[in-house]
Structure 1
Amino acid sequence: MERREAAAALAYTGRLAPRTIRTDPGEARDQLAQWHELLHDVPFTTDHGWDVREAIRAHILDSPYPILPVDVARKWRAYRRDRLDRHTDPTPAADPDDPGAWRAELVSSRHAVAAGAAAPSTHRQLTSGGPHPDVEARLRAIGSYIPPTVRAELARYRPAHAAREAVVAQGGPDALSVPCGWCHARTGEPCRQRRVGPDSTRRGNAVRTIPHPSRADLAAARLGQQQTA
């Protein structure tokens, strides 16, 4: 912050809290020199959310104590820390075989983020939005995230899932879309082969490849209701 900007910040403070401003010419010069000394590395505004006037206004509203330049400097340091905490270094465009250029680009991007000249690069850039256009085109071509050849190879390792896909592909109901009233399997879970001994205790809990008939009937009824609705 240049001296004239420090003077502008001090004048803004005087409009909001007149009692903090010195009226004696000598004291006013000393006060301006103090503000400039403590805020010389604090920008007046940045392109990404920092404005020294907002910091001054927030302090006057929130604190019963007169504002000091150190209060503004601390808010600026908290702003810098927050931005750097949310920043994840993007891969530099420099040649990775040139460590000096690689490191210089990383340092330059961090300084730009800390100074408010650039927005933080966060992990949300990797997860937000829909799939990449290349992925969408491939899905339209194969119809699934798993290619048919791979799905066929996996069928022998997950017979219950393969049987479910075969029924749905033929236009039948997805039995796992409803809970099972016989074995009490929840929606999305396969049915269990439960056996009860003479003493009324459970003696088996094996996964069934084929859902219970009552569950398939319930899923068929639900599918019929949806088609007629």
Structure 2
Amino acid sequence: MDRREVAAVLAYIGRLDPRTIPAGTGDARDQIVQWQELLDDVPFATAHGWDVREAVRAHVLDSPYPILPVDIARKWRAYRRDRLDRHTDPTPAADPDNPASWRTELLGTRHAVATGMAAPSSHRRLTGSPHPDIEARLAAVGSSIPSAVRAALAPYRPARAAREAAVDAGRPDALSVPCQWCHAAKGEPCRSRRLGLDGHARGTAPRTRPHPTRVDLAMAELAR
């Protein structure tokens, strides 16, 4: 902020909190110089959520103490940190073989976000429906994982392979229901419980095959 903006801020503070009004013209001039020295890099307002008057008003409402320039500077720094925490660097349009241009554009984007000149760029994610070509291919294949890849992964995920084999054979998926024997939740494999002399379970190793009672329950659910 320049001195005119700092003077406007001090006038606004004086309307909200008369205790901050200086006694004379000389004191007011010194106060403007002091505040401008500490708030030189703080903007008066930006297009993306920052307004120094809102920071002043929040302080007057929340604190019984007169506002100081460091209070505004700290709120501005917190605003900058929050914006950078919510920002994901987009890929620069500069040539990646030119590191200087790449770095300059990257830092320029971060500075624009930090100073409120640009909105933070959210994390890139897949949204919307898949491409029509992908939909047609998935409809023809029947799964996003090819059968050869699925067969290669079977030794490393036996429980999943057992479920897929049961469904392919026309049997019910036992993991679609909870197990009443080992209390495994829906979608989780059954576990082998070894009971100690005190009656408490001593081991809960996962089972490749579900308990027979769980298979019966899945068949009953399928029959319904």
Query: TM-score per shorter chain, which class?
Result: 0.7 to 0.9
| Aligned-residue identity in percent | 68
The match for 1:75 is 75
The match for 1:168 is 167
Tell me, yes or no, if the aligned pair for 2:192 and 2:206 is still in contact at 8 Å.
yes
Where in structure 2 are the equivalents of 1:132-171 lying within 5 Å? 133-134=130-131, 137=135, 139-155=138-154, 158=157, 160-169=159-168
Tell me, yes or no, if the aligned pair for 2:158 and 2:208 is still in contact at 8 Å.
no
The one-letter code sitting in structure 2 at the alignment partner of 1:44 is F
Find the aligned partners of 1:208 and 1:103 in 2 and give their Cα distance. Answer: 52
The match for 1:118 is 118
Alignment RMSD:
3.4
Find the aligned partners of 1:140 and 1:34 in 2 and give their Cα distance. Answer: 70
Find the aligned partners of 2:106 and 2:95 in 1 and give their Cα distance. Answer: 12
The one-letter code sitting in structure 1 at the alignment partner of 2:65 is Y
Find the aligned partners of 1:63 and 1:45 in 2 and give their Cα distance. Answer: 22
The match for 1:45 is 45
Deviation at 1:194, TM superposition (A): 7.7
Deviation at 1:141, TM superposition (A): 5.0
Q: Unpaired runs of 5+ in structure 2?
A: none
Tell me, yes or no, if the aligned pair for 1:14 and 1:21 is still in contact at 8 Å.
yes
Q: TM-score, normalised by structure 1?
A: 0.76
Can you list the C-alpha shifts for 1:172-199, whole angstroms capped at 9, x where unaligned? 4211122334565553344467899xxx
Q: 1:10 to 1:162 in 2, by over 3 A?
A: same
Deviation at 1:164, TM superposition (A): 2.0
Q: TM-score, normalised by structure 2?
A: 0.77
| Mapped pair 1:27 → 2:27 | yes
Can you list the C-alpha shifts for 1:20-57, whole angstroms capped at 9, x where unaligned? 11252332233233333322221111122211011111
Tell me, yes or no, if the aligned pair for 2:182 and 2:191 is still in contact at 8 Å.
yes
Deviation at 1:103, TM superposition (A): 1.2
Deviation at 1:159, TM superposition (A): 5.1
Find the aligned partners of 1:143 and 1:92 in 2 and give their Cα distance. Answer: 38
The one-letter code sitting in structure 2 at the alignment partner of 1:168 is V
Q: 1:142 to 1:49 in 2, by over 3 A?
A: farther
State the number of aligned residues. 218
Find the aligned partners of 1:43 and 1:90 in 2 and give their Cα distance. Answer: 25
The match for 1:108 is 108
Q: Unpaired runs of 5+ in structure 1?
A: none
Deviation at 1:126, TM superposition (A): 3.2
